[in-house]
Chain A
């Protein structure tokens, strides 16, 4: 019943679209990185994000909230995402195994959870403890 409800819900299909888009993004990043160096990959990647950014801006009729804090965090997000993306392209460029690199870099919520505990004083749930242990185990295996 729950599955039937999920399958008929819009949010479920948006989530699947997200998984497929990000899966395809990782694969195409690897394909491009076989020839193109990381810096150029990041340059082109950013150009590729522009149509979506512009479409969102147009959809909002060029109206954006004027919170200096929110904007600063979001811009810093972009800079750090770019740095992370550059390193990901560099990892793919080494000819390392695509599945391992994609799975290893997808573990970033591990860092977010730890930072949220240290900075935002959030409390760790039992499931997150198991998640951290599982992430640690995965990293040890990837390092072998």
Chain B
């Protein structure tokens, strides 16, 4: 069976983030969601020496460097918005599945922004994945 190269990397993400989901439950049993996010950033920082790019980091285009930095800010901002939704009266059983739908704007925007297309079968797969995250997060 020949799997696409991205599949192996996606499997690592799936497992790592799957464990993160469990640890998130465990950490927020002891500290607030905001504190958890602050210490999560500390965890990110622990990895920084391993990924330090040195002079090489200056050779990329300014736009791509900006996208990479902004991706981090938006990811953390999204996590903050999730906590804010819960704190302002949103039920976890509604907010979690709703926010798990984040691939939806990506699927809608990608054909226009990146000019990538998908087959009908792949679209069915994406719909199955969205239904799955909706049900699993509820």
Bound together, the chains give a CA A92 to CA B109 distance in angstroms of 16
The contact size tier of chain A is: 35 or more
Q: Are A91 and B9 in contact (CB under 8 A)?
A: yes
A: residues with CB less than 8 A from B are: 9-12, 14-15, 17-32, 34-36, 39-53, 56-57, 59-60, 64-65, 67, 69-71, 73-88, 90-92, 94, 96-116, 119-120, 127-128, 130-132, 134-135, 137-138, 141-144
Q: How many residues of B contact A (CB 8 A)?
A: 110
Minimum CB–CB distance from A28 to chain B (whole Å) comes to 4
Q: Are B44 and A141 in contact (CB under 8 A)?
A: no
Chain A interface mostly: helix
Other CB < 8 Å A-B pairs besides A94-B4, A99-B103, 10 of them? A19-B98, A25-B74, A28-B74, A46-B47, A52-B37, A75-B43, A104-B129, A107-B133, A108-B17, A143-B1
Top-3 shortest CB links A-B:
A78-B43, A111-B18, A48-B72
